[in-house]
Each structure stands twice: as C-alpha cells, then as structure tokens.
C-alpha cells in the first residue's frame, strides 16, 4: 500500500481468521469463541498443534502455508476476496500465517476457553513497546519489578521515560512495597515478570492482580520464562500477557519474535484519546500493531507456530534436565547459591507451586570466586554454548552482568557480578552435568 489516504480504519474488524475459519465473515474479527458448555476444553498439546491451523482449504496442506505476500487481490474496490483468506488486503494489517500463530497463542493463554486475543510482533520488545504506547500517555506511571529483564527496563526508562511516562522499580515479592509504589490515579500498569530474568524471582500473580485492580490499573505479565505451558497469567487475574517468542515459544533459536495476548474484557478507560483509537485493550493493541507496523513477518510467524506445536514436550524435558542440573550445582563446593523456584528453600517456591505446572528450564547460580570465577566458568563449558538468549533446545551459558543485563549496570536493577545464568536445553542430561563438572573443576 503506497498511499496512507487509502488506508481504512485499521481496527479489529479488519483482522480475519485463517482461510479455514472465516469464510463467511468478511469483517468479523477472528476470535476463538467461548468453548460450549457441553464440550470440554481441549488439552494444551492438542491446542498447541491444532489451534489456528486447520488444513488449508485450497490445497489441503496440513501445515499453514507461509503466505509470503505483501498484498491481496480484491474482488472490486473495497471488496476483499471471499474465496480464500477472507479479509486480507495488506500484510502489515493482516497475513494468514500470522493469524494462524495469533490464534494459537490466544488459545494457549486463554484460561478455561475465555476468548483472549493475541497479536504477533517482530520481537518481544516491539510487543512491549506496543503495550506501552497503546495504554500510556505523558504523566502516567507504571510499577515494575526491580529485577526485570534489562531490555524491558531500558525501554521503560530510556524510551518511554523521555516521553513523559514515569516508573518505579520495586521488589514485587514485597506486596507492601508494591502497594506503596502505586500512585492512585496515575499508576496505569503493574508490569511483572515471573520467574524473573536472571534472578528467577517469583511474583504472586493473584495478589498483584488485586493490588493493580484496586488502583484501577492493569496487570501486565511477561510470561517468556514460564510459557503458557507452565503458567497462564490470565487465569490468575492478569489483563495482558507479553512474550518474547524468540525464546521457548519458538524454541529453536532460529527466530526473533514477540506477542501480546489480551485477556477477555480487558479495558483501559483512562487511555481514551491515546493513539486516537477508542475501545478496549485488544482494540487499542490491534490498532497500534497496524499503525506502528512492527509485525511478525510470515516466515517468522511460521517458525514460532512450528515451535509451539512441540512446546509441551520440550518444556517437560527442559524441566527434567534443569532439576538434575540444580541438584548437581547445589552440591558443588564452588557454588554459593543456586537460584531455581523449584527448590523448596527458594523464597517463592510455594507461590510458584500454586501458579506454575513445573519450574522451568532457567537456572542461575553464584560462585564463591566472584566475577573472575563466573567469567572463567562461562568460558570453559563446551556443550553449554556461551551466548545470549535462552529457551532453545540447546543449552546456553552467560554472564548476565557483562552480557544480557549490561544495560542496567549502575541502576536499581544491576545484577551480582558473580552470577551465571544457564538456559538448560534438552540434550542428554549426563552430557550437561559432565560439561558443568569440567568447567567448575
């Protein structure tokens, strides 16, 4: 599309389902409807494999094709094609491969079939940016955790900040501190990661939802570490979920992507006038997704959806391997602390047991020998690759202070310099343990 004059109001009504779903509903949003009372919700793995991806009506292709097209032929001016891919006119506004991914993510994050809406972005930070710009305006305030992902903090403090959005970073495990940080009338979002990156802190989602809602704010949860397989924040009162799908959702370290999932009925009445679009939270995010344009391309959307199909089996294996790694590290004389919410001694263990299926594949630990020792261990592993990112099938090791979290050095979010973070992959666990043993010797 070359002329902005020709762009019609890009709202929910222009998004449509994949070809197999919306053949009669040209202008209807593609929402997964509530599950009828007489039909139980399908299990997680079934939805991960089938939601959003029914066989292609034109060819029977079992896997959603990569619709590598920027535009769509129209049956007359203003008449979108109704035979295949109903409702599509331009791939920033909508693309069937992206829609398939969005339907799958919405289904996986929806508690009890309550229809959530999902939006796929070019990266996790693009997804977060869309949330901030859709819902906040100058003078608004948000509260976030004091060990949030460094890139999230950078976005909030150094991009949203200069535009007039204020923030307070606080310890989200201390509910009184959170209550004290909230400014009634101007705090609009409570931004939560659980487990956190890289300190594996656990926040009580139900309690934080209560605090946010009492203040008229929304609870936004970054569910990247847990994934919807281990935790569904909307079921605990969250209003919006964000993901770096780069991580476990994609699962193979071959794509960068992000997503926003909006819970059914989430509203942000204070945002009227922001972004020039009225409506509920999903409408606002949908508007900004198109208006700002940081969308997931069809190749990337396809890769993430392929990853989702195996999410449950991968997460089980990540958890199995992480538990063995934790047991090994906990008994090692050079390790002073192992941070893993599955450990009974972890301060968030009971909360994690309540809101998570298992405890995930991320493990951090601290070394008696300080930063020098931490850097040396990172250098010596062979199966654990020294690299940023996480959540892929291969095991990774990194030094957060010098790598992923270098951008928060000197801030309230600075991480200890003796800390090492592992993304425990799904290789043979004995090889992982031998690798760590060698590196720590």
> Hey, which residues are catalytic here?
92, 149, 222, 247
Q: Which residue is nearest to ligand PLP (CB)?
A: 124
Residue 118's DSSP bridge partners are 261
CB-based burial, 45-64: b 16+ in 10 Å, e otherwise: eebbbebbbbebeeeeeeeb
Sign (positive/negative) of CA torsion 439, 385, 405, 338?
negative
What are the DSSP calls for 188-250, one per residue? EEEEEESS-TTT-----HHHHHHHHHHTT-EEEEE-TTTHHHH--GGGGT-SEEEEETTTTTT
Establish if 321 lies at the interface with ligand PLP (CB under 6 A). no
Number of residues that bind ligand PLP (CB under 6 A): 15
Region from 15-23, 27-35, 92-100, 117-125 binding ligand PLP, contact rule CB under 6 A: 117-125
Residue 413 CB contacts under 8 Å (≥ 6 apart), including other chains? 146, 147, 148, 150, 153, 169, 405
Residues 330/155, Cβ–Cβ less than 8 Å: no
Beta strands in 114-217 (DSSP E): 117-121, 141-145, 166-170, 187-193
Establish if 341 lies at the interface with ligand PLP (CB under 6 A). no
Which one among 22, 53, 123, 170 touches ligand PLP, defined by CB under 6 A?
Answer: 123
Helix (H) / strand (E) element for 71: namely none
Establish if 290 lies at the interface with ligand PLP (CB under 6 A). no
Residue 120 CB contacts under 8 Å (≥ 6 apart), including other chains? 98, 101, 102, 105, 245, 257, 258, 259, 295, 296, 301, 304
| Binding pattern for the stretch 53-92 against ligand PLP, x by CB under 6 A and - elsewhere | ----------------------------------------
Least Cβ distance, residue 47 to ligand PLP (angstroms): 23
The edge-to-edge listing of strands for the beta sheet with 396-398 is 335-339, 362-367, 419-423, 396-398, 385-386
Place of tokens 């847990």: 226
**Closer residue to ligand PLP in complex, CB, 199/335:** 199
**Closer residue to ligand PLP in complex, CB, 11/135:** 135
Establish if 231 lies at the interface with ligand PLP (CB under 6 A). no
Which residues in 125-144 contact ligand PLP (CB under 6 A)? 125
Helices (H) and strands (E) in the chain, counts: 13, 12
Which one among 224, 232, 283, 423 touches ligand PLP, defined by CB under 6 A?
Answer: 224
Establish if 355 lies at the interface with ligand PLP (CB under 6 A). no
Establish if 246 lies at the interface with ligand PLP (CB under 6 A). yes
Which residues in 247-286 contact ligand PLP (CB under 6 A)? 256, 258
Establish if 222 lies at the interface with ligand PLP (CB under 6 A). yes
**Closer residue to ligand PLP in complex, CB, 223/290:** 223
Helix (H) / strand (E) element for 338: namely strand 335-339
Establish if 151 lies at the interface with ligand PLP (CB under 6 A). yes
Establish if 157 lies at the interface with ligand PLP (CB under 6 A). no
Which one among 53, 244, 283, 305 touches ligand PLP, defined by CB under 6 A?
Answer: 244
Least Cβ distance, residue 385 to ligand PLP (angstroms): 16
Token pair of 276 as six digits: 């020039």
Establish if 152 lies at the interface with ligand PLP (CB under 6 A). yes
Residues 94/88, Cβ–Cβ less than 8 Å: yes
**Closer residue to ligand PLP in complex, CB, 275/391:** 391
Least Cβ distance, residue 296 to ligand PLP (angstroms): 11
Interacting residues with ligand PLP (CB under 6 A) = 123-125, 149, 151-152, 193, 197, 222, 224-225, 244, 246, 256, 258
């Amino acid at each position: 599309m070359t002329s902005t004059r020709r762009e019609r109001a890009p709202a929910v009504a222009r998004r449509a389902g994949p070809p197999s779903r919306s053949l009669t509903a040209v202008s209807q949003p593609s929402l997964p409807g509530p599950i009828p009372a007489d039909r139980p919700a399908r299990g997680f793995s079934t939805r991960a494999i089938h939601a959003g991806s029914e066989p292609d009506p034109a060819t029977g292709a079992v896997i959603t094709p990569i619709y590598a097209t920027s535009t769509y032929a129209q049956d007359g001016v203003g008449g979108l094609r109704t035979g295949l891919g109903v409702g599509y006119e331009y791939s920033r506004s909508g693309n069937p491969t992206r829609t398939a991914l969005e339907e799958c993510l919405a289904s996986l994050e929806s508690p009890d079939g309550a229809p959530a809406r999902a939006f796929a972005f070019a990266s996790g930070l693009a997804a977060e940016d869309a949330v901030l710009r859709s819902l906040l305006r100058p003078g608004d305030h948000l509260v976030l955790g004091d060990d949030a992902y460094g890139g999230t903090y950078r976005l909030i403090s150094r991009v949203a900040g200069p535009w007039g959005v204020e923030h307070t970073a606080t310890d989200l495990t201390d509910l009184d501190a959170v209550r004290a940080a909230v400014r009634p009338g101007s705090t609009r979002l409570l931004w939560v990661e659980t487990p956190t990156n890289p300190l594996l802190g656990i926040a009580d989602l139900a309690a934080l939802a209560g605090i946010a809602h009492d203040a008229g704010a929304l609870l936004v949860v970054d569910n990247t570490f847990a994934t919807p397989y281990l935790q569904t924040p909307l079921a605990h009162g969250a209003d919006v979920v964000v993901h770096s799908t780069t991580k476990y959702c994609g699962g193979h370290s071959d794509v960068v992507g992000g997503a926003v999932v909006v819970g059914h009925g989430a509203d942000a009445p204070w945002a009227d006038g922001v972004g020039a679009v009225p409506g509920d939270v999903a409408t606002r995010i949908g508007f900004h997704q198109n208006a700002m344009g940081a969308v997931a391309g069809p190749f990337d959307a396809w890769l993430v959806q392929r990853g989702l199909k195996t999410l449950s089996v991968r997460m089980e294996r990540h958890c199995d391997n992480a538990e063995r790694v934790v047991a090994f590290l906990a008994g090692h004389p050079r390790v002073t602390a192992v941070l893993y919410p599955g450990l009974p001694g972890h301060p968030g263990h009971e909360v994690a047991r309540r809101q998570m299926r298992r405890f995930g594949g991320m493990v951090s630990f601290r070394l008696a020998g300080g930063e020098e020792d931490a850097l040396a261990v990172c250098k010596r592993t062979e199966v654990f690759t020294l690299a940023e990112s996480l959540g892929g099938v291969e095991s990774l090791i990194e030094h957060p202070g010098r790598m992923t979290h270098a951008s928060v050095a000197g801030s309230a979010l600075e991480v200890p310099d003796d800390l090492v973070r592992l993304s425990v992959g799904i290789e043979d666990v004995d090889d992982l343990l031998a690798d760590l043993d060698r590196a720590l010797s």
